[in-house]
Amino acid sequence: MNKIITISIAAYNVEKFLDETLSSLSCPELMDSIEVIIVNDGSKDSTVDIAKKYVNKYPDSFILVDKKNGGYGSTINASLDIARGKYYRLLDGDDWFDRNEFMKYVEALKNIDTDIVITDFVKRIQTGNHEKTEITSYNYPQGKVEETSKIYSMAMHSTTVKTEIINKGRIRITEHCFYTDYEFIMKAFLLSSSFTYLPVKLYQYRIWGEGQSVSITGSMKHYRERDLISRFAIEASSKNPTAKRITFETGILSANASDLLTSGDFKRYMAFRKATKESGIKLSKNLSNLGKLVYLFPHILYRPASIIKRKQNKLSPLWNNVKD
């Protein structure tokens, strides 16, 4: 039976959340229309056992791929290899879809044929026992077929792509690398020509507000990987003016500049700075005041600014990479 939508779920040690994630998709009236591919990326907890419960209950709709750890990009590639739905989208194993909005979304997809479908999403910011919500909505005409040149912003949480586009373009994602969700949506965008906007608040994006130091430490572990994806974004921007606008709006380049400043990797920072300038990207407009000054006068300000940022984030000084 033909499926309308394939939902790829990256699952790595998400036993605390996966049941909620899969439950949000298990609408009996939609089983003929959906395909849910749960890609276990080498979890060491009970992630697989939770996934099997849904696979056993809905064997024609839920699929488990159990593989060695390969990072987020590898989970996308694994699901793309077997995806059967007309459309394809991503869902992280610790997030979920609003059940009512999901039903509206699937029904609407049956009458849509554009390359990309954009939906709203909700940030669920968790701080202790409190939750704050922020809704990301788009100001596109509702339900109309539009050219992708009119897209001003995209995010993994809002993007659905026609599987045919992915297969024709042979899209595959960098493995053993963080931040590959941006790589996926940009590769899909560059191969697409039309989109439709559905005003459904579908994706519920869980964000942990446990303190900046945790996220900064994580960023530093993977700053080279963000830089790799940023270089891809710069290359895409040089080929397509709309890609340049989307890249700027997502903030991936400004985040990379900040990470490279905090990292103390002066050589990599300068290479990134050169690439943005050569591509005509006016990155300084999207930087903090300190970031703008360093971008303008790196040989003078990089080292002291990096010292300040590492001290602010309680990171040890790593000056072996800082060279004028």
Strand stretches in 149-271, DSSP E: 159-162, 194-208
Higher pLDDT: 212 or 103? It is 103
Which residues pair with residue 121 across a beta bridge?
136, 203
- Domain assignment present for residue 317? The answer is no
- pLDDT band, very low/low/confident/very high, at 217 (cuts 50, 70, 90): low
- Domain assignment present for residue 320? The answer is no
User: What single-letter amino acid sits at 155?
Assistant: A
Weakest-pLDDT range from 30-39, 52-61, 185-194: 185-194
- pLDDT band, very low/low/confident/very high, at 274 (cuts 50, 70, 90): very high
In this structure, the number of other CB atoms found within 10 A of the CB of residue 212 comes to: 12
- Domain assignment present for residue 256? The answer is yes
Final residue before a domain boundary, out of 152, 182, 208: 208
- Residues 6 or more apart whose Cβ sits within 8 Å of residue 14: 21, 43, 45, 47, 93, 94
Domain match, 147 and 246 both: no
- pLDDT band, very low/low/confident/very high, at 78 (cuts 50, 70, 90): very high
Domain match, 229 and 272 both: yes
- pLDDT band, very low/low/confident/very high, at 137 (cuts 50, 70, 90): very high
- Domain assignment present for residue 57? The answer is yes
Domain match, 26 and 86 both: yes
Mean pLDDT of the chain: 89
pLDDT over 90, % of the chain: 60
Residue 211 pLDDT > 60: no
Domain match, 106 and 252 both: no
Yes or no: say if 194 and 147 are a contact pair by the CB < 8 Å rule.
yes
Domain match, 44 and 191 both: yes
- Domain assignment present for residue 323? The answer is no
Beta strands at 130-136 and 116-127: parallel, antiparallel or unpaired:
antiparallel
DSSP state of 241: H
Domain match, 190 and 66 both: yes
Residue located via tokens 């509702």? 142
In this structure, the number of other CB atoms found within 10 A of the CB of residue 309 comes to: 21
In this structure, the number of other CB atoms found within 10 A of the CB of residue 299 comes to: 10
Percent helix / strand / coil, the chain, rounded to 5: 45, 25, 30
Residue 127 pLDDT > 70: yes
- Backbone φ and ψ of 265, nearest 5°: -90, 85
Residue 13: its pLDDT value, please?
A: 95
Which residues pair with residue 203 across a beta bridge?
97, 121
Domain match, 190 and 224 both: no
How far is it, in rounded angstroms, from Cα 16 to Cα 1? 32
Q: 162: which 2 tokens?
A: 């026609």
Domain match, 110 and 186 both: yes
How far is it, in rounded angstroms, from Cα 309 to Cα 318? 12
**Domain of 133: which CATH number?**
3.90.550.10
- Domain assignment present for residue 50? The answer is yes
- Domain assignment present for residue 183? The answer is yes
- Domain assignment present for residue 321? The answer is no
Domain match, 249 and 197 both: no
- 53-to-25, 42, 50, 67 alpha-carbon distances in Å: 13, 18, 5, 18
**130-137: average pLDDT:** 91
Q: 239: which 2 tokens?
A: 């080929």
Domain match, 82 and 181 both: yes
Q: 235: which 2 tokens?
A: 């290359």
Q: What is the total count of domains within the chain?
A: 2
Residue 143: its pLDDT value, please?
A: 80
Domain match, 123 and 162 both: yes
Domain match, 180 and 242 both: no
Domain holding 201, by residue range, is: 3-208
Residue 197: its pLDDT value, please?
A: 95
